[in-house]
Amino acid sequence: MDFLEIFLQPAAWLALLTLTFLEIVLGVDNIVFLSIVTSRLPEHEQPQARRTGLLLAMLFRIGLLFSISLLMQLTKPIFSVDTEWLDGHISGQSLIIFFGGLFLLYKSVSEIHHKLEGEEQGHAATGGKSKFWSVIAQIVAIDIVFSFDSVLTAVGLVSFKDFGYAGAMTVMVLAVVISVIVMLVFSGPVSRFVNAHPTIQMLGLSFLILIGVMLLAEASHVSHVSLFGAEVGAIPKGYIYFAIAFSLMVEFFNMKLRKKAYKTVELRNSKIVDPDNK
C-alpha cells in the first residue's frame, strides 16, 4: 500500500488526527518542563535551546517507533523481587520510567528552591556551550521517559493489520512530526508567558512534581509491585490533567482580578496627584 492509497482511507485520517491530538496533549508537560529549564539560559539562547530540544526529541521518538520490537523487549521482566513486604517483576521500561520520575521530582524541587531563595538571579546571564548542552541533555532525557507513553499509545491506536507495516509507520511518524511542529510554534509564547508570571512558574513546577509522582506510581504498576500485599495502582492521567486545567483556570481568574485591582489603584493615585483629572 503506497502513501496515497493509505490516505484514501477515512480510517487513516481518523487515526492520524486522533494520534496527533494525543501526542500534543501528552506533550504539554514536556513544554512546561522545557520552558522552565530553558529559562536558566540567556534570553537569546532560549529559542535555539527549545528548537534543538524538541527536534532531538522528535528524532528520538521516531527512532523508537522504528524500534518497536526493541521497545517491546523492555516490557519483559529483567528480575523479580519477592520478600515479605515487597513483591514485583522489574522491567527495563519500569526502570526508565522510575528514574525519569525521580529526575523530574529532583529537578522540580531544586528549581522551586532556586526561585524561593533567589539563586536563579544572575545565572541566566551567564551561558556557555556546556550549560546550553546540559539543558538540551535534560530536555532529551525527560523526553525519553515521556516517549514511552506516546509510542505505546501510537502502536495501540494504529492497526498494522488494516494499514500494513509501511502504512501504520507513515501515520505514526506523521503524527509525531505534526505534533512537534505544533509544539515548536507554541513553545515560544508558552515559555514567554510562563517566565513572565512567577505564579505560573510555581504552578508549572508543582505540576511537574505531580507528574513525577505519577511516573513513580506508573513504574510500580507496570512492574506489578505489591507493598504489604496491596498492589500499587497507576494514577489515571485524566486526574492530573484535570488538576492542571482547574488550577490554571483559577490562576487566570486571579490574574484578571490583580490586573483590575492594579488599574483601580493607578486611577485612584492619578486622581490624588491631579484632583482636576476626570
Q: Is the per-residue pLDDT at 141 higher than 70?
A: yes
Q: What pLDDT does residue 128 have?
A: 58
State how far the Cα of 170 lies from the Cα of 11, in Å rounded to an integer: 13
Q: Looking at the structure, do residues 188 and 271 belong to the same domain, yes or no?
A: no
Q: Looking at the structure, do residues 222 and 177 belong to the same domain, yes or no?
A: yes
Q: Looking at the structure, do residues 266 and 192 belong to the same domain, yes or no?
A: no
**How does the average pLDDT of the chain come out, rounded?**
77
Share of the chain residues as helix, strand and coil, in percent rounded to the nearest 5: 75, 5, 15
What sign does the dihedral 257-263-268-272 (CA atoms) show?
A: positive
Q: Give the 3-state secondary structure of residue 105.
A: helix
Q: Looking at the structure, do residues 274 and 140 belong to the same domain, yes or no?
A: no
Q: Looking at the structure, do residues 139 and 272 belong to the same domain, yes or no?
A: no
Nearest to 56 by CA among 202, 231, 184: 184
Q: What pLDDT does residue 274 have?
A: 58
Top-confidence range, 152-156, 174-178, 239-243: 174-178
Grid cell locating 157:
491506536
Q: What pLDDT does residue 160 have?
A: 59
Is residue 114 within 8 Å of residue 221, measured between CB atoms? no
**Region 84-93 average pLDDT:** 82
User: Binning pLDDT at 50, 70 and 90, where does residue 111 land?
Assistant: confident
CB-based contacts of 58: which residues, under 8 Å, 6+ apart?
A: 176, 177, 180
Q: Looking at the structure, do residues 59 and 137 belong to the same domain, yes or no?
A: yes
Q: Looking at the structure, do residues 38 and 138 belong to the same domain, yes or no?
A: yes
Global pTM exceeds 0.75 = no
Q: What pLDDT does residue 162 have?
A: 61
Nearest to 61 by CA among 112, 96, 27: 27
Higher pLDDT residue, 63 or 129?
Answer: 63
**Region 111-126 average pLDDT:** 65
**Region 255-278 average pLDDT:** 70
State how far the Cα of 143 lies from the Cα of 187, in Å rounded to an integer: 15
Q: Looking at the structure, do residues 219 and 126 belong to the same domain, yes or no?
A: yes
Output phi, psi for 80, to 5 deg.
Answer: -120, 150
Q: Is the per-residue pLDDT at 44 higher than 70?
A: yes
**Region 1-28 average pLDDT:** 71
**Region 211-224 average pLDDT:** 84
**Region 143-162 average pLDDT:** 67
Q: Which range among 1-10, 18-27, 161-170, 222-231 shows the weakest confidence by mean pLDDT?
A: 1-10
What sign does the dihedral 243-245-246-249 (CA atoms) show?
A: positive
User: Binning pLDDT at 50, 70 and 90, where does residue 2 land?
Assistant: low
The count of other CB atoms within 10 Å of the CB of residue 256 is 10
Q: What pLDDT does residue 72 have?
A: 65
Q: Looking at the structure, do residues 258 and 207 belong to the same domain, yes or no?
A: no
Q: Looking at the structure, do residues 136 and 247 belong to the same domain, yes or no?
A: no
Range of the domain at 248: 236-278
Grid cell locating 180:
512537534
Q: How far apart are the first and last CA of the chain?
A: 73
Count of the separate structural domains present in the chain? 2
In 39-197, at which residue ranges do the beta strands (DSSP E only) sit? 77-82, 86-91
State how far the Cα of 212 lies from the Cα of 210, in Å rounded to an integer: 5
Q: What pLDDT does residue 172 have?
A: 79
Final residue before a domain boundary, out of 219, 235, 251: 235
Q: What percentage of the chain exceeds 70 in pLDDT?
A: 79
Q: Looking at the structure, do residues 141 and 263 belong to the same domain, yes or no?
A: no
**Region 5-14 average pLDDT:** 69
Q: Looking at the structure, do residues 219 and 276 belong to the same domain, yes or no?
A: no
